[in-house]
A and B are shown apart, each in its own frame.
Chain A
């Protein structure tokens, strides 16, 4: 198997990137689950994207504790990971989460935004591998670490009948 990410990387050397995470975030958060969460663009690099999840009272977890639930962090990281993959591919194509692991290393601070930063470290013809972290202001002191694998829904190649 050829190294797709290397081929993609060399093909894009010196070219302006087409996939703009800041613009794409506006599009993806205009509606749906990401819109409901209120995710916004924060930062990006060549193969990573960071999104922000603003503090919200109705996203708390266990009753009586002023701590963000874990579910929104999972959604934030899923979305940041998708964006990191599109950034790395430099195009938008349909992908689906295959496997996502989140380690919650400490609670997020009350009232703080949570930032989800994900990096696509390997891209193949059919799969994308990502790792990332969530933090509440200091990326050196994360609230969660994640690892995930996504599959491309319509890979290049023969079209599957009724696919």
Chain B
């Protein structure tokens, strides 16, 4: 069984931002992590909303790739849209994110993603995203 590696799950953008795979849950769901440093800082001592959004999107893509691989499906993932809700300020510490697939169709997937710092039950941001799964180019 091909277990996706840390790097397979990440885009060049995500690697550049410092996002990495923290762990996988028992069902294979990837938990992504980013450290607090200058590349994610907005207001001094706090996460930039864009960086938090990037982490949420990355967790969504990582889970979708994992699920497609498990089903032996290959597809080019293209963003359709994302709506991010910012619930609390991201403080100067590591942030985690993991996604849940709400619907996996043939052409598009709908995912919900949570980001948290201390307690997964108290997210600092959530997102809903739709992703297009296009035919791989030959």
**Centre residue among A33, A59, A100, A104 by max chain B CB count within 10 A:** A33
A32-B42, A71-B17 given. 16 additional CB < 8 A pairs?
Answer: A32-B48, A35-B38, A37-B50, A58-B15, A60-B12, A61-B12, A62-B61, A63-B11, A71-B14, A72-B13, A72-B50, A79-B50, A100-B84, A101-B83, A101-B84, A102-B82
* Distance in Å: Cβ of B36 to nearest Cβ of chain A: 11
Interface membership of B79, Cβ < 8 A: yes
- What 1/0 mask marks residues of chain A from 75 to 98 whose CB sits below 8 Å from any chain B CB? 111110000000000000010111
A71 near B57 with CB under 8 A, answer yes
With A58-B13, A58-B16, A76-B50 as contacts: A103 and B39 at CB distance below 8 Å: no
Residues of B within 8 A of A (CB): 11-17, 38-44, 48-51, 53-54, 57-58, 61, 76-86, 89
Distance (Å) between the CB of B47 and the closest chain A CB? 8
Q: How far is the CA of A71 from the CA of B15 in the complex (A)?
A: 12
User: Which A positions have Cβ atoms within 8 angstroms of B?
Assistant: 31-37, 57-63, 65, 68-72, 74-79, 94, 96-104, 107
- Chain A residues with Cβ under 8 A from B86's Cβ? 96-100
Q: How far is the CA of A103 from the CA of B57 in the complex (A)?
A: 13
Which interface residue of B14, B77, B83, B89 has the most chain A CB atoms within 10 A?
Answer: B83
Known: A74-B54, A75-B54. A102 touches B11 (CB 8 A): no
Given the known interface contacts A33-B41, A74-B50, A94-B43, the answer about A60 and B57 at a Cβ–Cβ threshold of 8 Å is: no
CB-CB nearest in chain A for B86 = A97
Kindly identify which residue among B12, B48, B78, B80 contacts A33, using a CB–CB cutoff of 8 Å: B48
Chain B nearest CB from A59 CB (Å) reads 5
Complex alpha-carbon distance, A31 and B16, angstroms:
16
CA of A58 to CA of B17 in the docked complex: distance in angstroms? Answer: 9
Which one, B14, B54, B76, B80, contacts A103 given CB within 8 A? B80
Q: How far is the CB of B15 from chain A (nearest CB, A)?
A: 8
| 28 contacting pairs across A/B (C-beta < 8 A) | A32-B44, A32-B48, A33-B38, A33-B39, A33-B40, A61-B11, A62-B11, A62-B78, A63-B11, A70-B82, A71-B50, A71-B57, A71-B58, A74-B50, A74-B53, A75-B51, A78-B50, A78-B53, A96-B43, A96-B49, A99-B86, A100-B49, A100-B53, A100-B86, A101-B84, A102-B81, A103-B80, A107-B78
